[in-house]
Amino acid sequence: MAEIKKKKIISASTGEEVTGKKKIKEAAPTGSSVGYRIGAIVLWVLAFAFEVLAILVALGKFSFHFMPSLWQLIIFLVLDLICVVIGSLLWKKANHISPASEKNKVKFWLWNNLGVIVSVAAFVPFIIIMLSSKNNDKRTKAIATVVAIVALLIAGVCSYDFNPVSQEKKDEAVSTLGDGTVYWSPFGHVYHTHDDCSHLNHSDTLTSGTVEQAIAANRTRLCKSCAARDNITNLETDDATVDTEFEKAESEIEKTLS
């Protein structure tokens, strides 16, 4: 019989280990959505500034004379990418803390895809200008264009929210589960109402908290097995099999390293 590992449960509100049947007090989501949104906007503005600098270099209107133009373009594009990605991660975090309502379809779509839109705006103009510019040699144009396209793809994937949540779905989850404790694993994509759920058997460390904290941590759906166990039918659920495979892989890596 496989040995079942003893789990370490960490409170999302206190960061401390929860032992036995210690109950976690209900806490507000970590951080402020306003702060995250401001941080995202500031970083996106910086990203556009780096894009403008890259465009000026491509047009021959700005240059650091001690550095080849190709290296300048690559540096500005990398800085552009870093700002876009971090800004998008902050924006997605804010959306999980304070999600948009599905009643306004346009705002809901924009709110959850704004990072992708910014990604396009932060790289596509440069790509177009670079391809049409006659101020650079073919090698510089080819390499800079490829770097920009790769950066666009990375930014787009990182900015896309694969687990969007609406205010209505969050309210329904909070209404159904109340201040009850839920659990999630480090690499999971769902939250669980039972720490002994079979999908968590391979995880050494769990995080516990309220459903609001779980959603803020990008666990936007309830484990399908836990929902069946609790006879919950009104919440959006998801299969936690992927979580189990992640935890198995993590467990195997830990065994190998030890």
The tens digit of pLDDT for each residue in 46-104 reads 999 999 999 999 888 877 877 888 899 999 999 999 999 999 999 999 999 888 888 88
pLDDT value of position 91: 95
pLDDT value of position 1: 39
Q: Hey, what amino acid is at 185?
A: S
For the chain, list residues with pLDDT below 70: 1-31, 240-258
221-223: strand order across its sheet: 190-191, 221-223, 237-238
Q: Locate tokens 């396209």: which residue?
A: 149
User: 3-class SS at 10?
Assistant: strand
pLDDT value of position 83: 97
Pairing of strands 205-209, 8-11: parallel
N-terminal to C-terminal alpha carbon distance within the chain: 21
**Token reading at 120:** 């396009």
Partners of 208 in beta bridges: 11, 183
Q: Residue 221 phi/psi, 5° resolution?
A: -125, 150
Share of the chain above pLDDT 70, in %: 80
Q: Hey, what amino acid is at 204?
A: D
Reported for 118-122, long-range contacts at CB under 8 A and 24+ positions apart, including other chains, are 118/44, 118/47, 118/84, 118/87, 118/88, 118/159, 119/84, 119/88, 119/152, 119/155, 119/156, 119/159, 120/152, 120/156, 121/48, 122/44, 122/47, 122/48, 122/51, 122/80, 122/84, 122/152, 122/155
How many residues in total does the chain contain?
A: 258
